[in-house]
Chains A and B, each alone.
Chain A
Amino acid sequence: MSFDWFRKTKKEAPQFWKDYLSGFQKQAGNPLSKRYVVFDCETTGLDPKKDVILSIGAIGIEGDAILVNDYFEVFLEQDVYRPETVPIHGILKTGKEEKLTEPEAVIRFLSYIKDATLVGHHTNFDVKMVNQALKRLDLGKLKNKKIDTNDLYQKHKGWQSDQYSGLDELCAVFKISKSDRHTASGDAFITALIFLKLKKKLRI
């Protein structure tokens, strides 16, 4: 029935999404949130249209400090599975990590990030991956401000902003140990350290 169809599309947004959005409205009167969330997604591949998120790791930064207890990590249950990328992220389809459904993971992620500025290395990709997951829930895109550590690095070097430097290269430049590389939380932590350094150098 057309009415049902109409109701389905116009149905009221779920509470978690409203809560998420209200975090930004509140900002109008209040000063900007000083919280940054550095996050990283491990995915089945590099195509936001076809690939899906396998895990999200994130860590909060306030001022000049990474807050270890402001931490987020989830593993997702997915039907899309690409054996060829397993060597990179090490997440098996039936791994021992406790896995959440994609909607559950997204809900927790939104309630975790709130209105923080999102930071990531090539963060556009990770944001796109999350946006695709949101789209599958019939919701809009992420509203958070974004900072890409790659852009910061190119700016710091005085290079063209379209240049590309990998996380491994930055680890070498900033003398950061690469343990836990290619786990979402490990990459998020590494990126957070890089961000702290660049933040100081660029006086952000």
Chain B
Amino acid sequence: MKNSIAERVADFLKNFPPFKSLPYPDLLDLSNQVQVVYLEKNAILFQVGDAAHQNFYVVKDGAIGLSVISNGEEILIDQCDEGDIIGLRPFFAKNQYAMAAKAQEESILYAIPIEIFKPFVMQNQEVLNFLLESFASNTRNPYDIDYKGKLISENSFIAKQDPEVPYFQPIVYSKKTITAQSTDLVEDIAKLMSSHKIGSVIIEENQLPVGIVTDKDLRFKIATGKFPIRVPVSQIMSAPVITISRDISIAEAQLLLLKHGIGHLCVTRDGTPGSKIIGILSEHDILVVQTNNPGVILKLVKRATKSKDLKAVREKLTALIKNSIESNIPIQHISNLAGEINLAITRRAIYLAIEKIGEQPPVQFAWMNVGSQGRREQLLLTDQDNAIVFEDVEEERYEKVKNYFIELAKKVNKTLNKVGYEYCPAEMMASNPLWCKSLSEWKQQFSTWIFKPGEKGIMMCTIFFDYDYVYGDERLTNAITEEIFKNIQNNQLFFAYLGTDALRNPPPIGFFRQFLVESDGEHKDTFDIKSRAMLPLIDAARLLILSNHFTGVNNTMERFKKLAELEPQNREFFEACAEAFANLMYFRTREGLSQDSGGRFLNLKELSKSDKVKLKNSFQPIHELHAILKQRFQLSYFT
């Protein structure tokens, strides 16, 4: 009896390796033995440690996430789409799965019995090679054009084997912690540190950490004579201590060090300051594990004295980003690190400019990054967008004060340009008198944008509403924020304008799910990932977070994560948006690094099949987001 369902299965499989290499009648026989399995979203196909199944699997529809458990946390290693193979392990090893496979969306899989496939493997050298390569190279498809450097497979614990992913290794901390009491004298503690040859001591009370003393404290507070040597240590110790649990990854520890600008973390039993001390982790411990390290880069920033030094640092950062992308390190993490370093570079540039002018700023000011820099989404060297706000001054001083800051901004803009951040073609830079204003001028400016929202004003809003405090007096930027929120409260018209603007971006895919490419011009036939896919998410995230009256998050991924918290009923959807944005950023960054461009225009021909599927999946939330905007801000009247 002819089996038309088996034919249907065979017709699907024949498009993908290794089935491609099989003669059709064999493929048909094989297809006859297939089971069609349906998995609900989040259903688990197999867990780490599960006994091997009798089948391996081919994804027909949907997406399956492969993850390993590292540091007590599940880490997604790869997403398998249409045509990808999962669960080869039983072919080669008769033991348990080393990865977990979980449906990230509703999925249909073809389960192929291993016993039945084995004879085909043995008879067909090409098939055997494919499976061996898949298994050995840790890629799910070694024929994929961009497989190099991908770390994909359920075959092994990547975290244990691959030196390229040190980020996910658990921290190695020193367990012999030297502690002291807060009543101990500084002198005794210094002696203790010398005799143990250590750079820091945790101060404890009842085995709980209450403070920390480091070489730096001794240098700054004792050696300078600020405190006498025989005071109780409680007077000079730093408190509170930043604590972590033993199972966090190097990546997280590193981020904490960067964030707090410190060199030591205290490891406690449950990671909180309220539990017993079990060790200490220093920056040095991390350095030992990692040589090409963001901490080192950051140090270099601090030591830079010329724009040339900063440029060298930025080149190191690009190399780091490239490496991380190739190692499949989550884009969120890469972007956090790059954000910190970009910020440090700008801060240093400002510091150096002030030094060069040789005169301290006449009044308090704050430097803001705006646009993509303000959102800390700048992984590639795109153009700089920034602004300055300075304290209000008497009219007669205004001219002189403003000139100082324009002068300062010119120097900073120039340095940043030398580092590699192009001048903004639209002159949205602090050296432009328009964007170097006093606090009341800025308040006025934002009010105008909000209450008279013309098309141009709205464009300015989308750029300037994503401002990020960089340097100077943060109270000034906070004052602007307050003013904005006062003005947008219940301001339906403003939100409607912002919403209409968010809907103006061209759609990414057509009715038949085909990519819509640019029809003419320099970028003809390429896909504009920025305006067709990223801007809709960026704009929607900004609008939704503003309408939720939430400040302090600029980053689009973080905005979506915050929205997921603020609106638990839409949690899943907003999380999907955050993930979609991360994927898009990954694609753009990869493109930009390989083409040495802004990565905005993707050449679809160079994308692999699975990349295209992944890319299309990232478009999914856009449509629904637009529906939400239309409904929430009643945009039917406007569009």
Residues of A within 8 A of B (CB): 57, 59, 64-69, 71-73, 175, 179-180, 183, 185-186, 189, 192-193, 196-197, 200-201
Q: A175-B106, A193-B108, A200-B40 are in contact. Are A68 and B34 (CB under 8 A)?
A: yes
Question: Which A-B residue pairs are the 7 nearest by beta carbons?
Answer: A66-B36, A65-B35, A196-B38, A68-B34, A185-B4, A69-B32, A71-B3
Q: How far is the CA of A200 from the CA of B103 in the complex (A)?
A: 14
Complex contact A68–B1 (CB within 8 A): no
Select from chain B the residue with minimum beta-carbon distance to A201: B40
Complex contact A68–B40 (CB within 8 A): no
Complex contact B36–A65 (CB within 8 A): yes
Beta-carbon contacts of B23-64 to A below 8 Å, as 1s and 0s? 000000001111111101001000000000000000001000
Chain A residues lying within 8 Å of B35, measured Cβ to Cβ, are: 65-68
Neighbour of A180 across the interface among B2, B4, B32, CB < 8 A: B4
Chain A residues lying within 8 Å of B108, measured Cβ to Cβ, are: 193
Chain B residues lying within 8 Å of A179, measured Cβ to Cβ, are: 8
Q: How far is the CA of A185 from the CA of B5 in the complex (A)?
A: 7
By CB atoms of chain B within 10 A, which of A68, A179, A196, A201 has the most? A68
Complex contact A59–B5 (CB within 8 A): yes
Q: How far is the CA of A201 from the CA of B108 in the complex (A)?
A: 15
Chain A residues lying within 8 Å of B1, measured Cβ to Cβ, are: 71-73
17 other contacts beyond A193-B36, A200-B38, with CB at 8 A cut-off? A59-B5, A64-B37, A65-B35, A65-B37, A66-B35, A68-B3, A68-B5, A68-B36, A69-B3, A69-B6, A73-B4, A175-B61, A183-B4, A186-B4, A196-B36, A197-B106, A200-B43
Kindly provide the distance from the CB of B115 to the nearest chain A CB, expressed in whole angstroms: 14
Kindly provide the distance from the CB of A28 to the nearest chain B CB, expressed in whole angstroms: 30
Beta-carbon contacts of B307-337 to A below 8 Å, as 1s and 0s? 0000000000000000000000000000000
Select from chain B the residue with minimum beta-carbon distance to A58: B5
Q: How far is the CA of A44 from the CA of B32 in the complex (A)?
A: 30
Chain B residues lying within 8 Å of A180, measured Cβ to Cβ, are: 4, 8
Beta-carbon contacts of B274-317 to A below 8 Å, as 1s and 0s? 00000000000000000000000000000000000000000000
Kindly provide the distance from the CB of B67 to the nearest chain A CB, expressed in whole angstroms: 22
Complex contact A189–B37 (CB within 8 A): no
Complex contact A64–B38 (CB within 8 A): yes
Complex contact B6–A71 (CB within 8 A): yes
Q: How far is the CA of A192 from the CA of B106 in the complex (A)?
A: 16
Q: Does B543 make an interface contact (CB < 8 A)?
A: no
Kindly provide the distance from the CB of A73 to the nearest chain B CB, expressed in whole angstroms: 6
Kindly provide the distance from the CB of A184 to the nearest chain B CB, expressed in whole angstroms: 9
By CB atoms of chain A within 10 A, which of B5, B8, B35, B61 has the most? B5
What are 23 A-B contacts defined by CB distance under 8 Å?
A: A64-B38, A66-B36, A68-B3, A68-B9, A68-B34, A68-B35, A69-B3, A69-B32, A71-B3, A71-B32, A73-B1, A73-B2, A73-B4, A175-B61, A183-B4, A185-B4, A186-B4, A189-B8, A196-B38, A197-B38, A197-B106, A200-B38, A200-B43
Chain B residues lying within 8 Å of A57, measured Cβ to Cβ, are: 4
Q: How far is the CA of A175 from the CA of B63 in the complex (A)?
A: 14
Q: How far is the CA of A180 from the CA of B111 in the complex (A)?
A: 22
Q: How far is the CA of A45 from the CA of B40 in the complex (A)?
A: 36
Neighbour of A68 across the interface among B33, B38, B43, CB < 8 A: B33
Beta-carbon contacts of B1-22 to A below 8 Å, as 1s and 0s? 1111110110000000000000
Complex contact B106–A73 (CB within 8 A): no
Q: Tell me the residues in window 571-595 of chain B with beta carbons closer than 8 Å to chain A beta carbons.
A: none
Chain A residues lying within 8 Å of B111, measured Cβ to Cβ, are: 65
Chain B residues lying within 8 Å of A65, measured Cβ to Cβ, are: 35-37, 111
By CB atoms of chain B within 10 A, which of A183, A193, A201 has the most? A193
Select from chain A the residue with minimum beta-carbon distance to B110: A68
Select from chain A the residue with minimum beta-carbon distance to B105: A175
Complex contact A193–B3 (CB within 8 A): no
Q: How far is the CA of A66 from the CA of B9 in the complex (A)?
A: 12
Chain B residues lying within 8 Å of A66, measured Cβ to Cβ, are: 35-37
Select from chain A the residue with minimum beta-carbon distance to B4: A185
Q: A193-B36, A200-B40 are in contact. Are A68 and B2 (CB under 8 A)?
A: no
Beta-carbon contacts of B46-88 to A below 8 Å, as 1s and 0s? 0000000000000001000000000000000000000000000
Kindly provide the distance from the CB of B638 to the nearest chain A CB, expressed in whole angstroms: 30
Select from chain A the residue with minimum beta-carbon distance to B111: A65
Select from chain B the residue with minimum beta-carbon distance to A57: B4
Q: How far is the CA of A192 from the CA of B36 in the complex (A)?
A: 10
Q: How far is the CA of A65 from the CA of B39 in the complex (A)?
A: 10
Chain B residues lying within 8 Å of A192, measured Cβ to Cβ, are: 36
Q: How far is the CA of A165 from the CA of B286 in the complex (A)?
A: 61
Chain B residues lying within 8 Å of A193, measured Cβ to Cβ, are: 36, 38, 108
Chain A residues lying within 8 Å of B5, measured Cβ to Cβ, are: 59, 68, 71, 185, 189
Select from chain A the residue with minimum beta-carbon distance to B31: A68
Chain A residues lying within 8 Å of B40, measured Cβ to Cβ, are: 197, 200-201
Kindly provide the distance from the CB of A74 to the nearest chain B CB, expressed in whole angstroms: 8
Q: Tell me the residues in window 86-118 of chain B with beta carbons closer than 8 Å to chain A beta carbons.
A: 106, 108, 111
Q: How far is the CA of A179 from the CA of B4 in the complex (A)?
A: 12
Kindly provide the distance from the CB of B106 to the nearest chain A CB, expressed in whole angstroms: 7
Neighbour of A69 across the interface among B2, B33, B37, CB < 8 A: B33
Q: How far is the CA of A68 from the CA of B6 in the complex (A)?
A: 6
Kindly provide the distance from the CB of B71 to the nearest chain A CB, expressed in whole angstroms: 32
Chain B residues lying within 8 Å of A183, measured Cβ to Cβ, are: 4
Select from chain B the residue with minimum beta-carbon distance to A72: B1
Kindly provide the distance from the CB of A152 to the nearest chain B CB, expressed in whole angstroms: 14
Q: How far is the CA of A29 from the CA of B1 in the complex (A)?
A: 34
Q: How far is the CA of A64 from the CA of B37 in the complex (A)?
A: 6
Chain B residues lying within 8 Å of A64, measured Cβ to Cβ, are: 37-38
Q: A175-B106, A197-B38, A200-B40 are in contact. Are A68 and B32 (CB under 8 A)?
A: yes
Q: How far is the CA of A185 from the CA of B2 in the complex (A)?
A: 11
Q: How far is the CA of A68 from the CA of B8 in the complex (A)?
A: 10
Chain A residues lying within 8 Å of B43, measured Cβ to Cβ, are: 200
Kindly provide the distance from the CB of B543 to the nearest chain A CB, expressed in whole angstroms: 29
Q: How far is the CA of A64 from the CA of B40 in the complex (A)?
A: 11
Chain B residues lying within 8 Å of A200, measured Cβ to Cβ, are: 38, 40, 43
Chain A residues lying within 8 Å of B34, measured Cβ to Cβ, are: 68
Chain A residues lying within 8 Å of B32, measured Cβ to Cβ, are: 68-69, 71
Q: How far is the CA of A71 from the CA of B5 in the complex (A)?
A: 8
Kindly provide the distance from the CB of A178 to the nearest chain B CB, expressed in whole angstroms: 12
Complex contact A73–B3 (CB within 8 A): yes
Q: How far is the CA of A171 from the CA of B2 in the complex (A)?
A: 25
Chain A residues lying within 8 Å of B106, measured Cβ to Cβ, are: 175, 197
Beta-carbon contacts of B114-136 to A below 8 Å, as 1s and 0s? 00000000000000000000000
Q: How far is the CA of A11 from the CA of B10 in the complex (A)?
A: 47
Q: How far is the CA of A58 from the CA of B36 in the complex (A)?
A: 14
Q: How far is the CA of A23 from the CA of B402 in the complex (A)?
A: 94
Q: How far is the CA of A189 from the CA of B12 in the complex (A)?
A: 15
Chain A residues lying within 8 Å of B4, measured Cβ to Cβ, are: 57, 73, 180, 183, 185-186
Q: How far is the CA of A69 from the CA of B113 in the complex (A)?
A: 12
Chain A residues lying within 8 Å of B3, measured Cβ to Cβ, are: 68-69, 71, 73
Kindly provide the distance from the CB of B501 to the nearest chain A CB, expressed in whole angstroms: 32
Q: How far is the CA of A69 from the CA of B36 in the complex (A)?
A: 11
Kindly provide the distance from the CB of B537 to the nearest chain A CB, expressed in whole angstroms: 23
Q: How far is the CA of A72 from the CA of B3 in the complex (A)?
A: 8
Chain B residues lying within 8 Å of A186, measured Cβ to Cβ, are: 4
Kindly provide the distance from the CB of B336 to the nearest chain A CB, expressed in whole angstroms: 35
